[in-house]
Amino acid sequence: MKSLNAITLAVLAALPACALAQAQQQGNDQARSKKVDETIVIQASPLNKTALESTQPVNIISGDDLKQKQAHSLGETLALEPGINNTHFATVAGSPIIRGLGGPRVKVTQNGLDTGDVSRGSPDHAVTTETSTAEQIEVMRGPATLLYGSGAIGGVVNVVDQRIPSEPVYGIEGGVNASYDSVNNGRSGSYDMTMGNGEWALYVDAHRRLSDNYDTPDFMNDEGEVLDEVENSFVDSKGGTVGASYQFDKGYFGISYQGLYQEYGIPGHEHHHHEDEGHEEEGHDEGHEHAEEAGPFADLEQQRWQIAGELRDPFAGFEAVEMRAAITDYQHSEIEGATVGTQFKNQQKEVCVIAKHAPLAGWTGAVGFQWDISDKTATGEEAFTPDTQRRSQGVFWVVEREIGDHHVDLGIRQERTDLSSTELALDTFNATSLSAGYMYHIDDASSFSINLSHSERAPSATEVFSNGEHFATRTYELGTLYELHDEGNGEYHLHQENADMALETSNNIDLGYHYETERFHLQANVFYNRVDDFIYERFTGISSTAIHTDEGHDEHVGEEAHDHDHEHDEEGLMVVQFSQADVNLYGYELEADYRLTDAWSLHGFSDYTRAELRDGGDLPRIPAQRVGTEVRYQATNWDGAIGYTRYLTQDKIAANETETDGFGLLNARASFYPNWLAQYGATVYLKGENLTNQLGRVHSSFLKDDAPMAGRNFKVGVSVTF
């Protein structure tokens, strides 16, 4: 991190001031004209659509709205968007769940490219996108596989920033943000800045975030202890980015580098270590800052290079060719005292080329190629998957056409995935995905849309190869490669089965209705997703101490030799088995705004997902139904709102799963735009969250009994743009 800060300072110090001064006036004119156009384009779409023009449900969070919702994790930042929930591994890590689907079924990208972390494999692994310096976050619900791969049958979350400026920049523009949270003594600051002379552009950003254990209402954990905070839930995050691009007559080309460094607690379990333990990682010595924390913590580091470019009118028949590529080197170590207990690494490379072609018989569209390789390794006592390699190549074609009041879009993708491990090479998976969307503009105020899609997904390495203790989630995970045989005496025999697996196949229908006038806004969506051979983690009800391996019946899986003694060794860990079954998922998202007067308005939303096994029963960890309302006030120099969100009881539960009680959160916020700071585009905002200090347990969380939602919190922040 020190080297990254030095690079940033050196770049700033070396700025050619004379060139910037010559470009400043021209830049002011450009900036003013840019702000007049408030239409936000979906950066993830090669066809330059806005959210209103998309047949697929899309949410875009940007500007002050994004600054106020911004939290440490991506899942928490998006947690109150309709149809989106958070995995909620306390507040230290959180990934988005879209329509009940998470993990590898939700693609998380940075400027259209995979983040390259290991967050899709486990809820305690952090997503490495940084939202504090983001320009906007795009959420596409439902299948979005054609551009991003066959894994995204739940949806796509794309975090957009300007690390590689794609348009000419004149002068200097950027922003500075700072905030404080009372519930965890959270201190956060970030800045981003872009400067240029119309031809060359330079981008820099940095962030710093520190927080302690977060407070909760009094609760009893699963060990009978009454607590008022979630122990070992601290966060220490820092990072920065440097990027540059060159603009020429027909396009641009640029490159960026990002360094991200995080340490965060892993709450929910205690590891007891010995003073003489070895296995120390270089750089993690006895004097480590968090060596004396109450429990284990993660030490994460990611280095990421990204390149991007576009060539307009490259040759006959094509309007533009865009290329994006990323090389990511990720690792995180789980530390106990000064000892590395487990270390995860991922080296990932990705290239995506998209060519927008000229209209064909009235159809505009784009063809693309995507190449992605990933090499993952895990060492240590919680390395519950072997070293794995994934190789993926995909081609796709999307087209659209306007016919009067009718809009039609079509798409197809063919993808090949090779998955192997140090223990076994699986067969190649060939997946085909198809989509068709239709929108009818009923009148100037309303439109109706329908989306049909067929998607095929190859399994992830975790779903196939898992076999080991996962103390972060308090489970023993088994992949589909393994099978348990009941020996009839309360014990089970574990052995390796044939690795033959079926593709997960999804057929989805999505209906939407949009109504927009000066006073009233309504967006309603209903969906039905029929999935064959769905892969999910099944709670078996079996303890790991009851399992024997193929090596003999003298040794239990839960008593594998290692130097650490864990608090759950005596009773063992709950065994969860990745299994395949046919399922149905259906539900709705509803969002509405009604302007009562010029100053007062009323907002409401609700969402619901039902997930059933076709042979009977329910899928585990499906988020509860929610209903929320908010009263808003808009004045000249300030605005505010007060709202209440109710999480209903989740009693549609899987075997060996417990119900989760409902709860309600009362929140309030206010934003101020001081006249004397207007020239700096300054916003001062205040937030009160969970004002009545309600105890809220998140059904989708593996730690719902040990890490409930945060208690009463007051947040103050300031955002300045220039």
Residue 238: band (very low, low, confident or very high) from pLDDT cuts 50, 70, 90: very high
For residue 465, the 8-state DSSP code is: H
pLDDT of 382 strictly over 50: yes
Give the pLDDT of residue 154: 86
Query: Three-class SS of residue 68?
Result: helix
Best-predicted range by mean pLDDT (130-144, 227-241, 424-438):
227-241
pLDDT of 118 strictly over 60: yes
Nearest partner of 399 among 450, 357, 461, 432, judged by Cα: 357
pLDDT of 500 strictly over 80: no
* HEC secondary structure over 172-207: EEEEEEEEEECCCCEEEEEEEEEEEECCEEEEEEEE
Query: What is the residue-averaged pLDDT of the chain?
Result: 85
| Chain center to CA of 245 | 27
C-alpha dist (Å) from residue 247 to 188, 250, 357: 34, 8, 22
Give the pLDDT of residue 419: 85
Answer with the residue of higher pLDDT: 336 or 330: 330
Nearest partner of 121 among 143, 91, 151, judged by Cα: 151
pLDDT of 324 strictly over 90: yes
pLDDT of 25 strictly over 70: no
Q: Are 254 and 323 in contact (CB under 8 A)?
A: no
**DSSP of 634-691:** E-SSEEEEEEEEEEPPB----TT---B--EEEEEEEEEE--GGGGGGTEEEEEEEEST
| Chain center to CA of 221 | 28
pLDDT digits (tens, 9 = 90+) for 506-561: 999 999 999 999 999 999 999 999 999 999 999 998 998 888 876 544 445 544 43
Number of neighbours of residue 598 by Cβ within 10 angstroms: 7
Q: Average pLDDT of 651-656?
A: 94
pLDDT of 287 strictly over 60: no
Q: Are 203 and 241 in contact (CB under 8 A)?
A: yes
pLDDT of 711 strictly over 60: yes
- Copy the structure tokens of residue 136: 């906007």
- 681, 682, 683, 684: CA torsion to nearest 10: -170
Q: Average pLDDT of 171-179?
A: 94
- 554, 558, 560, 565: CA torsion to nearest 10: -130
**Can you name the residues that pair with 190 across neighbouring β-strands?**
177, 207
| 544 burial via Cβ count (<10 Å: 0-12, 13-18, 19+) | buried
pLDDT of 270 strictly over 70: no
CA angle 406, 443, 361 (to 5 degrees): 15
pLDDT digits (tens, 9 = 90+) for 189-214: 999 999 999 999 999 999 999 999 99
Report the alpha-carbon distance of residue 507 to residue 650 in Å, rounded: 26
pLDDT of 422 strictly over 80: no
**DSSP of 275-336:** TT---PPTT--TT-TTTTSSS-EEEEEEEEEEEEEEEEEEETTEEEEEEEEEEEEEEEEEEE
CATH number for region 2-721? 2.40.170.20
pLDDT of 301 strictly over 90: yes
Report the alpha-carbon distance of residue 471 to residue 266 in Å, rounded: 10
Q: Average pLDDT of 51-65?
A: 81
Best-predicted range by mean pLDDT (17-26, 160-169, 490-499, 555-564):
160-169
Q: Average pLDDT of 105-109?
A: 92
pLDDT of 674 strictly over 60: yes
Nearest partner of 426 among 497, 373, 532, 345, judged by Cα: 497
Best-predicted range by mean pLDDT (172-186, 222-236, 500-514, 538-552):
172-186
Percent of the chain with pLDDT over 90: 62
Query: Three-class SS of residue 447?
Result: strand
CA angle 158, 162, 163 (to 5 degrees): 100
Report the alpha-carbon distance of residue 151 to residue 456 in Å, rounded: 8
Residue 282: band (very low, low, confident or very high) from pLDDT cuts 50, 70, 90: very low
Number of neighbours of residue 671 by Cβ within 10 angstroms: 21
Determine which of 91-95, 151-155, 425-429, 582-586 has the lowest per-residue pLDDT on average: 425-429
Query: Over the Cα atoms of the chain, what is R_g?
Result: 25
pLDDT digits (tens, 9 = 90+) for 597-640: 999 999 999 999 999 999 999 999 999 999 999 999 999 899 99
Answer with the residue of higher pLDDT: 468 or 556: 468
Number of neighbours of residue 691 by Cβ within 10 angstroms: 15
Report the alpha-carbon distance of residue 62 to residue 68 in Å, rounded: 10
